A and B are shown apart, each in its own frame.
Chain A
Amino acid sequence: MSNPYAKLPAWADYGLIPLINLIVAFIVAGLVVLLVGENPFRAAVILVEGAFGSGTGLAYTLYYATNFIFTGLAVAVAFHGGLFNIGGEGQAYIAGLGVGVVCLAFDHVLPWWLTFPIAILGAAAVGALWALIPAYLQAKRGSHIVITTIMFNFIAASAMVYMLVDVLKPRGSMAPQTRQFVEGAQLPKLGWFLSEFGLTVRPSAPLNLSFLLALLMAFFVWLLIWRTRLGYEIRTMGFSPKAARYAGISETRIIIVTMLISGALAGMMALNPIMGDQHNVSLDFVSGAGFVGIAVALMGRSHPAGIVPAAILFGMLYQGGAELAFEMPNISRDMIVIIQGLVILFAGALEHMFRPWVQAAFASLSPRTVGVAQPKGERA
């Protein structure tokens, strides 16, 4: 009885509705821009050009997107298991320790291509470990994972301040960060790849090898969720814990394994800024990517094929937004956050707002493209 609407074809479900949501988000954002006395069309042009108009802009966009792919995948995997991992931020932050320790230990000894796999393991292991504790508390003690993962974000933040200020900071340095890594812990940039297409990319543009790792992980997540036994078990648990129990799937095991994978994916996000760009571990290097991951996963419908474009969209908002703040004096950094918030609001939180209308439109336009309604003979 709760779903009186007919089913939509997949392209409308996954393409049209997000597009409508996005357009509405931009219209509302445009009104906000109008309100501060700027021209919304010019703002839109600056935003898009800033993100995609130059090789350097594109490199920045994809660099930010890399962060969001990792954290978006982390949220998505947990979500398939019915778990809401709000702790991506903290898991990524604390995983910076894993990456940092590996880099500090090996950057003088090993070439980057040997340090990288070890650092991946370090990042994944520390991120997973940070997710393990809330997972254990949920599985064994029933402590709600939303609460525990949020709290673990704060613990991670405090722990990192302590580590960076009191342990990892080189003696005599004023900045709360590790020493700069040398070449053995610096990932190759991918700017040259964009240059191949005739784009000019500044050498400082941060797009690096982690982007490919993120895409690889997106593929692995797809493989995991839809093609493996474990993924089947995770999805069963996510849809119906009772059915999982019936099928002999251990709830404890699935919660813990799912959160380990989720934490590991969030942790890998740390590789991108630390090894790929700034070559040190500094305070607050995650800067909200863990939370943006939630919006990315929501918008991407927890499917890697949706998460990657959603991540690029948010990368665009980050990069283009920075340009916008620079170009338009009335638009501050905070305005950009408002625009990002609107996109999250419409694309994520209000995802179903326009669905009934679209469905009604489809049902009246072409009944044949619309699937069979749920039989109404009985109700669960």
Chain B
Amino acid sequence: MAEAAIELIGIDKSFGTVRANRDINLVIERGTIRGIVGENGAGKSTLMSILYGFYQADSGEIKVGGKPVSIKTPNDAIALGIGMVHQHFMLVQNFTVIENIILGAEDEALLKRSIANARSELERLEREYGLEVDPDAVIEELPVGLQQRVEILKALYRGAEILILDEPTGVLTPAEADHLFRILKQLKDQGKTIVLITHKLREIMAITDTVSVMRQGTVVATRETAKTTVEELAELMVGRRVLLRVEKGEAKPGEVKLAVDNLTVRDSRGVTMVDDVSFDVRGGEIVGIAGVAGNGQSELIEAISGIRKAVSGTVLLDGKPIEVTGQADPGELRDRGLAHVPEDRHYVGLVLAFEENENSILGYHDKTEYLKGPFLDIDAIRADAKQKIEKFDIRPANDRLKTANFSGGNQQKIVLARELEQNPGVLVVGQPTRGVDVGAIEFIHKQLIAMRDRGKAVLLVSVELDEIRSLSDRILVMFDGRIVGERGPDATEGELGLLMAGVERQEAAE
């Protein structure tokens, strides 16, 4: 057996009454890729945060390279050769790649020499690991896949021998993810140790050597990847059997509910994000928009739901226009039966500082049933919220709890409950299961299918290709602001992956 890179012995961590980690024992061998899977709230991130010095364990011991260590801050972790690539990148958006890489590792007050040193070091790293990035590019102009590479370079630049990646593929195309995996394999071959935190079981199967499953703060199992199956891991994660494929019947498309015609949207910097896009969504079908994050899907659904102004084009809701290029009012669109589950539930779909019941009327707070004159009818609002909590099994079942204290899956259920219970004719939904645990994903998918089966039109945007494929009746692929192809639900991942990478279009152009 290989030598241990990291040993965690009896790690315990509580937040108040919640024991986020209990008695965790984990040995990660040098030069291997270890997967850590588990639902949200299973304690993966807490454990990694302890390892990276964000938190201290209440008890337990950490050994790095066989020696007991005390990691009090991320700087201690870095000094021990532990690097972390966060799910949400920690990059300064308007700095260049090289400025980001030396950030916090500058040698002296003046930057000139640090930058020169970094440049030669960076060239070496890029050569060695195939991590090409233009060092002078500004971060905000780079695609997400490259931004992630910058994060990895940052860790390597600081001499990381152990690299922790937290949900690294959430924002990548299948091709970019494959590239990332190749990089990780290369790093492994060079003797680096990699810890991959993810909820995507297929990735675990594809790349890891061993996998540990966490549930409710403990490691419930560690398996050699070659000797386990996706089904077994899913069962270990949730503690019961899970339906991984969504069961649904044939779609019965009806009338066109939502018609998008030649829609063009620019972002705040004037870059065209949605370029002359046209499509229809009929009642009784789910139309999925596949694509790598940042190819205009977000702007598309924001324009349709009246949050972002479009430059040109028309959108018809039940045959009547939405003023997408003018003063479209999301409130009015709700009255007309268009519900929107936004991609970003933390800052758009919810007000995290509000009590649950306050969020359960967000956007519908104009409805007379929630009001008594100019006053909120608190009793009615709370009764309504309790009903939704019951129906959508939102936990904890406390409508007075601050929304920030719900888990990701339950927060998403709060949004869904609010939007679906208004019985809209059209549902526009972005990333419905991002950061949501397996059990809740199953529930959310069932709800979306039920919407469809009631004859509603559903427009689904997701970067999870599996989700698009299992839910959609038709799949549109977006690349660089355009719809580059339409496929049926039986399209293969490879086929969609190529479209998402814009391959077909480039070939056609040549």
Chain A residues at the B interface, C-beta cutoff of 8 Å: 1, 4, 6-7, 223, 227-233, 235-236, 239-240, 242-243, 245-249, 363, 367-368, 370-380
Instruction: Return B86 CB to nearest CB of chain A, in Å.
Output: 8
Tell me if B42 is interfacial: C-beta within 8 Å of chain A. Answer: yes
> Which one of A4, A236, A246 contacts B330 once the chains associate, using CB atoms below 8 Å?
A246
Q: Given the interface contacts A236-B362, A375-B407, does A367 sit within 8 Å of B17 by beta carbon? A: yes
Q: What residues of chain B lie closer than 8 Å to A363, measured between beta carbons? A: 16
Does A371 contact B16, Cβ atoms closer than 8 Å? yes
Q: Given the interface contacts A229-B371, A373-B15, A376-B49, does A243 sit within 8 Å of B87 by beta carbon? A: no
6 nearest A-B pairs in the assembled complex, by CB-CB distance? A248-B331, A373-B15, A377-B40, A247-B363, A6-B16, A248-B330
Q: What residues of chain A lie closer than 8 Å to B15, measured between beta carbons? A: 4, 6, 372-374, 376
Q: What residues of chain B lie closer than 8 Å to A373, measured between beta carbons? A: 15-16, 18, 20
Give the docked Cα–Cα distance between A6 and B378 (Å).
28
A-B contact pairs, 23 of them (CB 8 A): A4-B55, A228-B374, A229-B365, A230-B374, A233-B365, A236-B354, A239-B353, A243-B351, A246-B330, A246-B348, A247-B331, A248-B334, A375-B41, A375-B407, A376-B15, A376-B45, A377-B39, A377-B40, A377-B45, A378-B45, A379-B86, A379-B87, A380-B88
Chain B residue with Cβ nearest A363: B16
For window 393-429 of chain B, which residues contact chain A by CB distance below 8 Å?
404-408
Q: What residues of chain B lie closer than 8 Å to A233, measured between beta carbons? A: 365
* Residue of A230, A246, A380 with most chain B CB atoms under a 10 A cut-off: A246
Q: What's the dominant secondary structure at chain B's contact region?
A: loop
Q: Given the interface contacts A242-B344, A368-B17, A377-B40, does A247 sit within 8 Å of B405 by beta carbon? A: no
> Which one of A246, A248, A372, A374 contacts B332 once the chains associate, using CB atoms below 8 Å?
A248
Q: What residues of chain A lie closer than 8 Å to B330, measured between beta carbons? A: 245-248
Chain A residue with Cβ nearest B306: A248
Does A377 contact B331, Cβ atoms closer than 8 Å? no
Tell me if B356 is interfacial: C-beta within 8 Å of chain A. Answer: no
Instruction: Return A130 CB to nearest CB of chain B, in Å.
Output: 25
Chain A residue with Cβ nearest B199: A377
Does A239 contact B365, Cβ atoms closer than 8 Å? no
Instruction: Return B274 CB to nearest CB of chain A, in Å.
Output: 18
Instruction: Return B73 CB to nearest CB of chain A, in Å.
Output: 12
Does A376 contact B332, Cβ atoms closer than 8 Å? no
Known: A247-B365, A376-B46, A377-B39. 5 other contacts (CB 8 A): A242-B347, A246-B305, A370-B16, A374-B405, A375-B405
Give the size of the chain B interface in residues (CB under 8 angstroms). 58
Interface string of B337-381 (1 = CB under 8 A from A): 000101010111111111000100011011000010011101000
Interface string of B13-27 (1 = CB under 8 A from A): 011111010000000
- Total of A-B residue pairs, C-beta within 8 Å: 134
Tell me if B467 is interfacial: C-beta within 8 Å of chain A. Answer: no
Q: Given the interface contacts A229-B375, A247-B363, A375-B40, does A367 sit within 8 Å of B348 by beta carbon? A: no
Q: What residues of chain A lie closer than 8 Å to B405, measured between beta carbons? A: 7, 371-372, 374-375
Q: Given the interface contacts A377-B40, A377-B45, A377-B407, does A243 sit within 8 Å of B362 by beta carbon? A: yes
Q: What residues of chain A lie closer than 8 Å to B349, measured between beta carbons? A: 243, 246
Give the docked Cα–Cα distance between A7 and B16 (Å).
8
Instruction: Return B308 CB to nearest CB of chain A, in Å.
Output: 9
For window 285-322 of chain B, which residues contact chain A by CB distance below 8 Å?
305-307
* Residue of A7, A227, A378 with most chain B CB atoms under a 10 A cut-off: A378
Does A236 contact B351, Cβ atoms closer than 8 Å? yes
Q: What residues of chain A lie closer than 8 Å to B358, measured between beta carbons? A: 232
Tell me if B437 is interfacial: C-beta within 8 Å of chain A. Answer: yes
Does B340 contact A246, Cβ atoms closer than 8 Å? yes
Does A377 contact B44, Cβ atoms closer than 8 Å? yes
Chain A residue with Cβ nearest B328: A248
Give the docked Cα–Cα distance between A347 and B88 (Å).
34
Give the docked Cα–Cα distance between A168 and B40 (Å).
69
